[in-house]
Amino acid sequence: MIVEKIVTNIDQMAKEELDKRHIEKVYLESAHLMKRIQRVTTDHGKEIGIRLKDPRDLVAGDVLYMDDHDMIIIDVLSDDLLIISPRSLQEMGTIAHQLGNRHLPAQFEENEMLVQYDYLVEELLQELQIPFKREERKVKQAFRHIGHSHD
């Protein structure tokens, strides 16, 4: 089977629609969510080729295939993350500036800043005394680097 477009995302589906189907999952590392062409295997051993026509990243919950009885969805493996919880706008600005200088991609969930684990960033957070914790957590989308050069 070759998937060329995403059917929908489970976040857009009614619970009844999900409950009436057998669900197979494709587990991906968050970095692989950016790959438009790849070969994957479901948790039931079914091989699938993904060749997306649209230039978009995969997202956790994307439905690769669906019929009246079955569906195949994307799930994401946990990442080793630093969960940063600044106490003030100044702390947020300080760490955002420091991470931006390192071109380190970040994601935001409520009042938390998520970055992939890096021991240098961990040391920086300790030095700046900005609250953080290290944990394994699933993210819905890939950590995307934004192209930029210092000219």
The tens digit of pLDDT for each residue in 30-65 reads 889 999 899 999 999 999 999 999 888 899 999 999
In a domain, 96, yes or no: yes
- Are 49 and 39 in contact by the 8 Å Cβ rule? The answer is yes
SS3 at position 7: coil
| pLDDT at res. 142 | 82
SS3 at position 96: helix
Number of domains in the chain: 2
Give yes or no for residue 11 having a pLDDT over 50: yes
For residue 57, give the CATH number of its domain.
2.60.260.20
Residue ending a domain, choose from 59, 76, 93: 76
Residue ending a domain, choose from 26, 56, 76: 76
Give yes or no for residue 144 having a pLDDT over 80: no
Residue 6 sits in the same domain as residue 36:
yes
| pLDDT at res. 141 | 81
| pLDDT at res. 143 | 82
For residue 95, give the CATH number of its domain.
3.30.70.790
Range(s) of the domain holding residue 91? 79-137
Residue 65 sits in the same domain as residue 95:
no
Q: Tell me what the pLDDT averaged over the chain comes to.
A: 90
Beta strand pairing call for 112-116 and 107-109: antiparallel
Residue 89 sits in the same domain as residue 54:
no
**Reported confidence tier of residue 149, pLDDT bands at 50, 70, 90:** very low
Residue 9 sits in the same domain as residue 72:
yes
**Reported confidence tier of residue 140, pLDDT bands at 50, 70, 90:** confident
| pLDDT at res. 132 | 97
| pLDDT at res. 80 | 95
Residue 21 sits in the same domain as residue 58:
yes
| Residue 57 or 132, more confident | 132
| pLDDT at res. 103 | 86
Residue 54 sits in the same domain as residue 100:
no
Residue 101 phi/psi, 5-degree rounding, is -65, -25
Give yes or no for residue 150 having a pLDDT over 50: no
Residue 66 sits in the same domain as residue 104:
no
| pLDDT at res. 148 | 44
| Residue 147 or 112, more confident | 112
